[in-house]
Structure 1
Amino acid sequence: MGFSRKRVDKDGNVRYTATYRDLKGRIRSAGTFSSKKKADKAWQDKEAELRQGRVGDPSRGQMTLRKYAEDVWLPNHRIEPKTREKYTGYLDKHIFPELGPMKMADIFPEHIRQWITKLQAAGVSPWVIQSCKSSILNALFTTALNDQIIYIHPCRGVKIPTVPSTPRTIITPEQFDVLYQALGEPDHRLLVETDIETGLRWGELIELRVKDLDLATRMLTVSRKATEISPKFHPDGKRFLITRYPKDKEFRRLKLSKQITKKLQAHIDAHRLGPEDLLFARRVQARPPIRVQAVPDPAELGLTRPNAKGRQYQHGTISAYNAGPCRCDHCRAAYAQYRAERRAKGKDRPRTTIKVEDHDEHIPRNWFRRYVWHPALKAADLGITPRVHDLRHSHASWLLHGGADLQVVKDRLGHASIVTTQKYLHTLPEADDTAIDAFTKIRKRSKKKNKKPKKPLKTTS
């Protein structure tokens, strides 16, 4: 049992320290207060919190779902950092606003059904509702039930909205050739071609290093993946987390074609890559310094090119830099001088610069999608808008359509179940041609049987 300890400070003031024993019997302090009443309340509150943590104590269920999730479940739940980031976001956005203030013991299936109904009314997609209920809440309440915090599982028997299974987008070889030509940079072309020829996931692709490729045997080893996460979820506060195993948690090896191997070897030689270097990287170069020593009179520099609205501006002005938009040395110098003057007056906070040597060379997914993939799709005008991940789907579809063994394709892609691989059968547009031909054949036969014979012509004698 806790107690309040009287103490007198160096000024002669009487203070009271609230003390209590933790679950391991150690004496702890709950703070120092000016009155014994406040100190008694502090150690009593601490003992009440400890009772919530004892197995079999009904008061354990009195903690709120938010407190249990943030203080007990989430910190000790074994999940990948990227999954932890996703769970935290869904908890804050979709779960805590409705269920967070409720006590664990007071949550029943009816409350889960009401919560799902509100999410649907708010326009939340069935995929998000499925993740929140089936992945997060189901795991949270299962742990709470095993720890005897609750005695009924609120999620059991509660149905979620139907989650439709959308068809995969498959790029045909003809469409890929058009898309390949629309990619401007040779390195981007090689990355996309490697993806379609290997079927690697994005995290596996951007973590490929020279040492993973055996040029003699043309064998590629997939043993790591790079995951882009928020720095606050990274153990070292970085942007990319390197996991020493792929998604399926098993190393796999696959053979490359001769033509892609030659291209990769030429790429390695051209960039002078070492064994530990990334095959595909966003290599940052230091920005050349502004060479203009003095900003000339803007009236002497002429006008910028017409912008999207057909307007022109004087070179060497802020308007030319912002609205032009012109990035010549004169306009950059004018903008740099403007920002320097504002910082000197304390109006702007200087932005932290990224040092080249500290920059992570892994290619961010969103950066590649925005500046490489989407412009290429727009230029190619395929009539479809595939994702980068659809290159993996297309790889599997091409192999199976070309007659590759189902088990070989499963091992090559790293699927946990062959059922997943079977879903890629008959996904190319021409896969159903045999069915259409068979149907047309039977349909024509029916028309021939029902066709009335022609009457013989009458002859006159």
Structure 2
Amino acid sequence: MTDISDHTRTNYTRFIDNHMIPWFGQMTVSDRGAKITRDHVSRWVLDLRHGRSGPLHPPGTVRRSYAPKTIANLHGLLYSILQSAVEADPSLRDSNPCAHTRLPKGNDTEDDEVFLEPGEYALLKTHVRPDAADIIEALVSTGLRWGEVTALQPRDFTFASKRPTLRVQRAWKRRGEGGTFLGAPKTKKSRRTLVLTSAQVKLFQRLCKGRQPTDLVFTAPGGGAWHSGVFHAHRWKPALDAANAAGLTKRPRIHDLRHTHASWLIAGRVPLPVIQARLGHESITTTVDRYGHLLESSDDEVVAAVEWAMSAAATERDFSEAA
């Protein structure tokens, strides 16, 4: 694969070593010899789901069960490997045994994302330490990813215009051997421009004051970039614990501030294509799949629009018949 980062390549290699080799290590991707069949793939999926070890695991190996989403990700990687064999040479393999696997479904009652109401966010914010309040405010008010907001620099802002904006031009990336570096955003659509509210302009102008164009806007107390693990352990988790003790019933992740931002836009009747562009989703399908269930609040508008159109059509028909 030529379009992935070193960090992703390292992860894929680890997934293969830990979650595929113990099941398929003595098999071949071709149709010759000990080939991988649909039955092998199905048994592998079931073993992952129920925490069972593979045929090549050492005796006594203890495995944990995996969630449907994790299994789907691993299955997708295996599918890609075998599909490469199919596409490389039809005589090597003429079909993909992963093509028709029935994967486990998630719990319909389980909500992967947590959406905060404005009042719930206000409660949480009162328990955030002062040196973390600005970054929390920026995350929830822009919908940027952690790696994007912590990579912001003064040169990314345009304040002296009729409509102030923020341009997402870089994000923190992980190296394959460990560590991070500033690189391009996640996808082409992630390189985007966001309009700013007057409150955001005041926030970012204050943060940019006295900084050089290429300085980081958000820095840790000791200087330098915030580390996500440090921020979570020493800023986010203590704030959540205090907010929960004060009555907050939800336990959002930092990334859920992005979901919260999207839910507020939907509640404000912002069209999904606009939300897609603001969040930097590569496809509108991603936006619909993730936030479509929040559109129930628009049912009244849908009913009104359909009734108006049908009423207008009926009036036009009656007029034509009378003529």
The TM-score with structure 2 as length reference comes to 0.76
SS in 1 for 2:126: helix
Residues 240 and 362 in structure 1, CA contact (< 8 A), matched pair in contact too = no
List aligned pairs for 1:330-341, cutoff 5 A.
none
Residues 85 and 229 in structure 1, CA contact (< 8 A), matched pair in contact too = no
Query: Is 1:414 paired with 2:280?
Result: yes
Partner of 2:57: none
Residues 400 and 425 in structure 1, CA contact (< 8 A), matched pair in contact too = no
Structure 1 residue 425: Cα displacement: 5.5
List aligned pairs for 1:91-170, cutoff 5 A.
91-105=16-30, 106-122=35-51, 123-134=65-76, 136-148=77-89, 149-164=92-107, 166-167=110-111, 168-170=113-115
> Which of residues 270, 291, 300 is equivalent to 1:424?
291
CA distance in 1 between partners of 2:282 and 2:292 (Å): 17
Partner of 1:301: none
Residues 206 and 278 in structure 1, CA contact (< 8 A), matched pair in contact too = yes
Query: Is 1:84 paired with 2:9?
Result: yes
Structure 1 residue 118: Cα displacement: 1.8
Residues 170 and 185 in structure 2, CA contact (< 8 A), matched pair in contact too = yes
Partner of 2:184: 244
CA distance in 2 between partners of 1:103 and 1:411 (Å): 43
Aligned residues: CA RMSD? 2.6
The TM-score with structure 1 as length reference comes to 0.55
Residues 190 and 282 in structure 2, CA contact (< 8 A), matched pair in contact too = no
Partner of 1:222: 168
Partner of 2:228: 365
CA distance in 1 between partners of 2:84 and 2:293 (Å): 42
> C-alpha deviations, 1:212-235, integer Å up to 9, x for none?
0112232100121212345x1xxx
List aligned pairs for 1:9-408, cutoff 5 A.
76-105=1-30, 106-122=35-51, 123-134=65-76, 136-148=77-89, 149-164=92-107, 166-167=110-111, 168-186=113-131, 188-217=132-161, 218-230=164-176, 232=177, 239-269=179-209, 272-282=210-220, 284=222, 361-381=224-244, 382-408=248-274
SS in 2 for 1:247: coil
Quick check: 121-130 or 175-184, which moved more?
121-130
Structure 1 residue 191: Cα displacement: 0.5
> C-alpha deviations, 1:37-93, integer Å up to 9, x for none?
xxxxxxxxxxxxxxxxxxxxxxxxxxxxxxxxxxxxxxx554233322331221122
Partner of 1:292: none
SS in 2 for 1:367: helix
Structure 1 residue 207: Cα displacement: 1.1
SS in 2 for 1:92: helix
Residues 90 and 132 in structure 1, CA contact (< 8 A), matched pair in contact too = yes
Q: Which amino acid aligns with 1:170?
A: F
> C-alpha deviations, 1:229-276, integer Å up to 9, x for none?
45x1xxxxx61133223434452111111122112222222xx31100
SS in 2 for 1:279: coil
Could you say which structure has the larger radius of gyration? 1
List aligned pairs for 1:420-459, cutoff 5 A.
420-422=286-288, 423-424=290-291, 427=294, 431=297
Residues 36 and 97 in structure 2, CA contact (< 8 A), matched pair in contact too = yes
Structure 1 residue 159: Cα displacement: 2.0
Residues 432, 249 of structure 1: CA spacing in aligned structure 2 closer, same or farther, 3 A cutoff?
closer
CA distance in 1 between partners of 2:165 and 2:3 (Å): 34
Structure 2 unpaired stretches of 5+: 52-64, 301-323
Residues 248, 377 of structure 1: CA spacing in aligned structure 2 closer, same or farther, 3 A cutoff?
farther
Structure 1 residue 156: Cα displacement: 2.1
SS in 2 for 1:242: strand
SS in 1 for 2:182: strand
Structure 1 unpaired stretches of 5+: 1-75, 233-237, 286-360, 435-461
SS in 2 for 1:182: coil
CA distance in 2 between partners of 1:184 and 1:137 (Å): 44
Residues 409, 278 of structure 1: CA spacing in aligned structure 2 closer, same or farther, 3 A cutoff?
same
CA distance in 2 between partners of 1:147 and 1:425 (Å): 38
Quick check: 138-147 or 248-257, which moved more?
248-257
Residues 190 and 281 in structure 2, CA contact (< 8 A), matched pair in contact too = no
Q: Which has the higher contact order (CA 8 A, sep 6+)?
A: 2
CA distance in 1 between partners of 2:10 and 2:159 (Å): 38
